[in-house]
Structures are given as C-alpha cells and as structure tokens.
Amino acid sequence: MTHNIRTPKSIFTLLIAISMLLVLSSCSVFNSFTTSIEPDNSIVSEAELVRLLVNSINSPSSSSELYFDIPEHQRSGVSYSDYALYIEALSSMSKRVGEVSSYRFLRGEEKTAFYQQLLADSGLTSEQLRAYGDIDIIELMYDDSEDINYIFVNTDEDKRAYLSADWIKQTNRLYSYINLYYNEISKRNIEGFESSIEVGYSDEISSHRVISSRAERIIDYYFVNVRDVLKAYDLVSISPVCAKVSFPDFLVKDNDVSVDRLVVFTQRDEVIKNNDIVPVETDITQFILFKPTVSSPLLRIGNNYTSNSVVNQIGRPMHKTYSDEVLDTRVNSNGEIEEKHKIIYNYHGLRLIFEGYFTDVDNWVWDGELCAIKITDECDFVLGNGIRYGMSEEELLTIYPFLELYDYHISYSSLNANYTIDFTLDSDSHVESIVAQID
C-alpha cells in the first residue's frame, strides 16, 4: 500500500485551544483537570509514526512539534536533539529530489532483498544487524524525481512501532562523521583529516607515516577532481551500519571525464571505515632505471638502445641470452634479413629484457626496445622514486599509500603505451621482487 502525505495540524493550535478552555473554566474545573493527569499511554500506529517522520523530513523546521506528537514511550531514550539531528540526516537524502510525496512499506521478498543488500554493504552478519531489533523498511517516493530513498522504524515483540535510541544515535554518529570527513577535506586540514581516518585504518595499517600519506593523497585527489567538496556530494542512504555518499560530477583524467563516484561508509562496533580509495599516483619516472647516487637516468622502459649503449650505461652483463623465437624480421640496407628476438641481460640482482634486431649475432650486436626491468636482489640500481629491492612495506606505502589495495600493482598509460609495475613482498614485509614492463 502506498501512503500519500498530508501535513499535520500544528500542535500549537491544540495548545491555544486548551488555553482558551482553561480561561473559560472555573478554578475547580482546572484543579480537577490538573490533578487527573496520568502518564501518556497512548500509542501511534506504525503508519502514523512513519507519517510523522516523513513530515519532519519534508519540514525540518517543524520537527520539534512532530517530535512531541510521538508518545514518549515510543521514543524512549531519544532526546529532541537526537531526533533533530536524525531528521537532518534523513532530510539531506531528499534535498536533491524535493519533498516526499508518498511512501510504502517493503514486505516479503522485497524486504528480504533489501535486508540482504544492507548486510552485503555493511559487512555485518544477520546476528549483528539483529542487535538493533526488528526493523521495518519504508520506501520514500517523490513527485519530481524517479529517485527513491529508504527510512526505517523498529517494532517490538507486539509489532508496535517505535524509534530505537540505539538506531538513531548510531545513525547520527555515522552522519556526523561523514560531515567531519568532508569538512576536513574541504579545509585541507591534513592533521585533522588524518585523525578522523586513523581509527578506521588501525587494524590494517600500524604506521602513522602511511596513514599521513593516505590523508594527504585523498585530500589532493579531491581538490584536483572536485570544484567544491561540500557542495558536490549527496547522501544517498544512511543507517547505523552503512551510508552511501555520491559525487555525481566527479571529474577524472585531467578533468575531461565526469563520473558518479560512490563512497560507502560502514560502522561496526563504533569503528567507521570507508572504501574511499584513490588511484595510485605514478608517472614515467617509475619506469626509469637509476643509480642511487646519480640523479641522471640510465635506461627507460619503452626507449630504444643499442648493445653498446647498454654496456656503456650499465656495464657488461654477468650472463646474456636470447630467445629462439623470431618475433619479427627486417631487411637492412645491404638487403640482408635481420631477425628480432627477445634479448635478456642478467646482472647481479637485475635483469633487463629487450626486443631487438640482431645485426651481428655472433658478436652480440643489436638494437631494440627495453621492454622490462626486473630487480630481484640487492643491486646498484633503483627505479624512480627510490623504488628498490629490500625496502620495507612501510616505505613503499609511504610513496604509494593505497598500493596494497591494488594488490601491489601499478598501471600507467602514456602516448598509447601501457606500463605496469608489480611488487612482491617477503614474509618479513620487505620488497623481494620488482617487475616493471611495457605491455
């Protein structure tokens, strides 16, 4: 059943009417009235409770009146300030689509499907979510939009609806955190933002340096891709265990592509986390081989070299080989066919892989493209940004704060070429292998 919304009469109208009756009544009647007051045991139906919530959402300025329309025992433990903040959170979901025009309860399979999705989004078990009591789900609809939102009410063992203090307070806690999160980003307050995310990372990152790098990277990413952080996002849904925030016009790839960025916040045992993962920031320097003590580049993946230039830059290899497979052929100026092979130069801890044409196979004279660099042991070489064998995971994540969330894989595109770097860590969380290559 779909319920249409009607605006309630103001409680002040009722108060004025009572006041007028009191003035016209005798003192004895007044005394009788005042001494016969008993605790309010009235009950509003679930539909009426939802109507009061919806009208509060549509008119937050009237929430104080509507709050007192709810019998106290159906809002036990929920102060007016709790209610007002809760309505602010629910109203913020509707600000982009206008007033709620109607609503309906989800029943049967629809309710089960929504419940399962909430479990999937929050990462909770059914038992953990049941700690909030029995929940009814209400779908909100709008005249001016096809969008829909959802709100919730609790029911007791007698199927009587009520506002759960725990549900509302934890929803408010999550809503307040989201506001703090984006306020600190908006202010570019790295220290404050770092404090807000630190608890959420505590079970996966112990390094303060890495958390600080993540905070700085997230703030920089938003400032590059969002014109005004506080005005750019919409609260899509919220409950005590999960909230979704959308950036409908998030700009990426040098601000020439607009996407809808969705960030999911979850709350469990009062620890709030999110999936606000930003891309690993890299550039072509990560695909250049250096000596740690020399700033000038030695070799760059994707560039062409000759056998002599490689030896002059790196030195003679400990071992060298080439594949039997012929990758391509060409005809030189003398009309002779030259074959292209995969050529491998091995140094201590370093392997260079080329695809080159042999001009003199017997004397190992060739020219071709550097396709891959592999570092697998201590050596005299590093990649850009000081990437080296044996560096700790903390050092690596300080450079690339979100690298572990990308399975220690970096991809980069430039001039129609795709580059990748893959890291392998040993049991002591140190880098034991680096493979950089062009696809």
What the block records as the tokens of 173 is: 């806690």
pLDDT tens, residue by residue, 62-72: 888 999 999 99
**Whole-number pLDDT of residue 270:** 86
Lowest mean pLDDT among 147-151, 219-223, 255-259, 283-287: 255-259
Query: Is residue 31 predicted with pLDDT exceeding 70?
Result: no
pLDDT tens, 99-151?
Answer: 999 999 999 999 999 999 999 999 999 999 999 999 999 999 998 778 899 99
SS3 string, the chain, reads CEEECCCCCCHHHHHHHHHHHHHHCCHHHHHHHHHCCCCCCCCCCHHHHHHHHHHHHHCHHHHHHHHHHCCHHHCCCCCHHHHHHHHHHHHHHHCCCCCEEEEEECCHHHHHHHHHHHHHHHCCCHHHHHCCCEEEEEEEEECCCCCCEEEEEEECCCCCEECCHHHHHHHHHHHHHHHHHHHHHHCCCHHHHHHHHHHHHCCCCCCHHHHHHHHHHHHHHHHHHCCCHHHHCEEEEECCCEEEEEEEEEEECCCCEEEEEEEEEEEECCEEEECCCCCCCCCHHHHEEEECCEEEEEEECCCEEEHHHHHHHHCCCCEEEECCCCCEEEECCCCCEEEEEEEEEEECCEEEEEEEEEEECCCCEEEEEEEEEEECCCCCCEEHHHECCCCEHHHHHHHCCCHHHHCCEEEEEECCEEEEEEEEECCCCEEEEEEEEEC
Mean predicted lDDT score pLDDT of the chain: 87
Q: Which residue has the tokens 């049991």?
A: 427
Which of 49, 57, 138 lies closest to 90 in space, CA to CA? 57
Looking at residue 200, its pLDDT comes to 76
Percentage above 70 pLDDT, the chain: 88
385 near 406, Cβ under 8 Å? Answer: no
Prediction pTM value: 0.81
Tens-digit pLDDT profile for residues 293-350: 887 899 999 999 999 999 999 999 999 999 999 999 999 999 999 999 999 999 999 9
Whether 397 contacts 280, CB under 8 Å: no
The residues, ordered by sequence, that sit 6+ positions from 266 with a Cβ below 8 Å of its Cβ are 121, 122, 123, 241, 242, 272, 273, 274
Report the C-alpha gap between 243 and 183 in whole angstroms. 17
Tell me what pLDDT residue 330 has: 94
Q: pLDDT at position 35, please?
A: 33
Partners of 149 in the β-ladder: 140
- In the chain, where the domains are located: 2-163, 170-274, 284-438
Kindly report, residue by residue over 166-190, the tens digit of the pLDDT: 999 999 999 999 999 999 999 999 9
For residues 237-256, average pLDDT: 83
Residue 14: band (very low, low, confident or very high) from pLDDT cuts 50, 70, 90: very low
CATH of 170-274, one of 3.10.450, 1.10.10, 3.10.20, 3.30.70: 3.10.450
- Quickly count: other Cβ atoms within 10 Å of residue 247's Cβ: 20
The residue among 419, 381, 175 whose CA lies nearest residue 287 is: 419
